[in-house]
Copies of this chain bind each other. A is one copy, B any other.
Amino acid sequence: MAEYGCARMTVHKAITALASAGLVTRNKRAGTLVAKPPVVTAVLEIPDIAALIAARSEVYEFRLLSREIRPLRAEDGAEAALAPHGEVLALTGAHLAGGEPFGLESRIINLATAPEARDRDFTVEAPGSWLLHHAPWTDARHRITAVAAEATQARRLGVARGGACLQIERWTWRAGAGVTFVRQLFPGDRYDLVAEFSPPGAT
């Protein structure tokens, strides 16, 4: 306040912005210190696939490959983080751009959290878009890895078996209850993720 001749509120807002960017850490009584390890963070935008393809001025299409209502199995592994038990809607489908395969997805929807999904027809509408508008989430976790396409996947995507694909796994929760788990697979040459980072105050 003395150095810049401004009010405490103004200094507070500025420092709060620095803290939210991870540049400083604030501790009561101890004061505000420059953060030790400047962890590199970036804001990642995971786009809606339909919107992404529309932006490339190509025709988007979703094709449902399988649909099943079943209890959540313990051996579902990663999917089990969704809910301890209960019925789920398991879907697999393909995203097409201009008639060509663009990506595959395998999804589990928790029917306890999103019961309306049970009677929904996902043969042409992508479940991701529907969920986005009808079962909003409050928390999400993403895992991004590179995997080799398995035989079936490779055939459906029109790539060589073992071809490098970007795999995005996403778990979403609403108020602590699992909503959906999705595993998406994109051929490496057809999709990439871009993340930007600029600290606050940068113009």
Residue of B nearest to A13 (CB): B13
In the complex, what residues of B have CB within 8 A of residue A166's CB?
144-146, 166
- A138 near B: Cβ within 8 Å? yes
Which of A69-77, A92-100, A191-199 lies on the face that meets chain B?
A191-199
- A44 near B42 (CB under 8 angstroms)? yes
CB distance from A68 to the nearest CB of B (A): 26
Tell me the count of chain A residues lying within 8 A, CB to CB, of chain B: 45
- A6 near B: Cβ within 8 Å? no
Which of A45-53, A57-65, A83-91, A118-126 lies on the face that meets chain B?
A45-53
Most buried by B among A40, A132, A138, A163: A40
Q: What 0/1 readout, one digit per residue, does chain A (4-43) give for beta carbons within 8 Å of chain B?
A: 0000000000000000000000000000000001111111
